[in-house]
Structure 1
Amino acid sequence: MGRAGKALKCVLQQYGISQNRLAVTMGVARSTVNQWVNEVSDPLADSIPDIVTALDTLEPSAAQIFLQLYIQRRCTPTQ
């Protein structure tokens, strides 16, 4: 558990995006995003595209980095 959560936590921190801002953009409860970020639960597979779309709306490069981290399973700063 936690592959998506770790990637999401890293991206939110790196780009200064709050859990609440992502939740509002996605149309989900902030507690849902909090559970993902804190690895209490993983987002369902069909939520991953929604996360990417929301991140792309907020910060396009964050969406790209999220996907890279999600696939690579590690959190490393970029640039």
Structure 2
Amino acid sequence: MISDVIEWDENNLDHACRRLTAVEIEQVISNAASYRRHRRYPDRVLFTDSAHGGKRATVVARYDAGRRRIRPITAWEEP
């Protein structure tokens, strides 16, 4: 994992957890072997992998390399 901390508060919990649970989002981030930069937003990264239950998903998060923190923004299950 590229981060020491995954940041949650009421604002990003509400939006990011519309389609996946916070636990699933953290599992996808932790399980991802790599990430890619968002094309439009250079401070955001995309993780695509599976949660422990096998659900394949993508998570978009803001990554603060200096503080080694990831802040999930949104997530969805892959078909």
Band of TM-score, shorter chain: 0.3 to 0.5
- TM-score of the pair, normalised by structure 1: 0.33
Question: Larger strand proportion, structure 1 or 2?
Answer: 2
Bigger relative contact order, structure 1 or 2, given CA contacts below 8 A and separation 6+?
1
- TM-score of the pair, normalised by structure 2: 0.33
Question: Larger helix proportion, structure 1 or 2?
Answer: 1
